[in-house]
């Protein structure tokens, strides 16, 4: 069994079926945490991540939930608490994007990215933080941001906007929740080879 500095802590990682989210889930488990692997659709890859976590000697559950759906987030958190125990770590990583220019982006595409990348982050942070405060848990929330939060990268209107707004959401939450004993941090990974970034790269290359 993996025994580390996060031994017996319980974490929820959104968008954890692949890419950066999967890497975060495995790193948490390798440091002793039990993990709820949130996903949408990627059931085969999710089972692989679950298996890897369990090989580390940690408990893992998979929960399919669209984080833009408030009720689904509430049920995911409740299920995690009942199955694994009190949640003291949340990583908001889930995002979606079509990567298009301002001229070509459809409103419904923009809205979908904002629903996941802004409102989904809000739902997860608020639901978990309220429980942490209620139960007096000194927890940690980590938001996976991006250099897109500060830079107007080409052909990424929806992603740029979502990451910029969610950065302020996380920073504002940090300013408020620190007084409740909850630490909120932001990480901004650079260019990382993931299935999502490869799909985005293909779209950008084809649009040139």
Radius of gyration of the chain (CA): 17
159 classed as catalytic: yes
CA atoms within 13 A on the CB side of 138: 1
- 83 contacts 76 by C-beta, under 8 angstroms: no
In degrees rounded to 5, what are phi and psi of residue 95? -160, 160
Q: Is the dihedral of CA 99, 97, 129, 8 positive or negative?
A: negative
Give residues with Cβ within 8 angstroms of 162, minimum separation 6.
95, 97, 113, 114, 116, 117, 118
Catalytic residue among 39, 63, 119, 159: 159
Alpha helix segments (H runs only) across 4-150: 19-30, 43-55, 70-84, 107-114, 120-134
Q: Which amino acids are annotated catalytic?
A: 159
């Amino acid at each position: 069994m993996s025994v580390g500095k996060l031994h017996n802590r319980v974490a929820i990682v959104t968008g954890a079926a692949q890419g950066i989210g999967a890497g975060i889930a495995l790193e948490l488990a390798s440091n002793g945490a039990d993990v709820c692997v949130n996903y949408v659709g990627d059931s085969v890859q999710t089972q692989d991540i679950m298996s890897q976590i369990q090989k580390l000697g940690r408990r893992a559950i998979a929960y399919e939930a669209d984080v833009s759906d408030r009720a689904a987030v509430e049920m995911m958190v409740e299920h995690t608490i009942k199955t694994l125990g009190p949640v003291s770590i949340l990583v908001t990583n889930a995002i979606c994007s079509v990567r298009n220019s301002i001229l070509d982006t459809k409103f419904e595409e923009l809205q979908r990215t904002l629903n996941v990348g802004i409102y989904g982050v809000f739902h997860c942070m608020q639901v978990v933080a309220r429980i942490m405060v209620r139960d007096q848990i000194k927890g940690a929330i980590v938001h996976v941001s991006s250099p897109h939060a500060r830079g107007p990268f080409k052909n990424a209107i929806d992603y740029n906007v979502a990451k910029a707004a969610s950065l302020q959401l996380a920073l504002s939450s940090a300013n408020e929740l620190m007084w409740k004993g909850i630490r909120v941090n932001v990480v901004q990974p650079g260019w990382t080879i993931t299935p999502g970034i490869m799909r985005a790269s293909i779209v950008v290359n084809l649009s040139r």
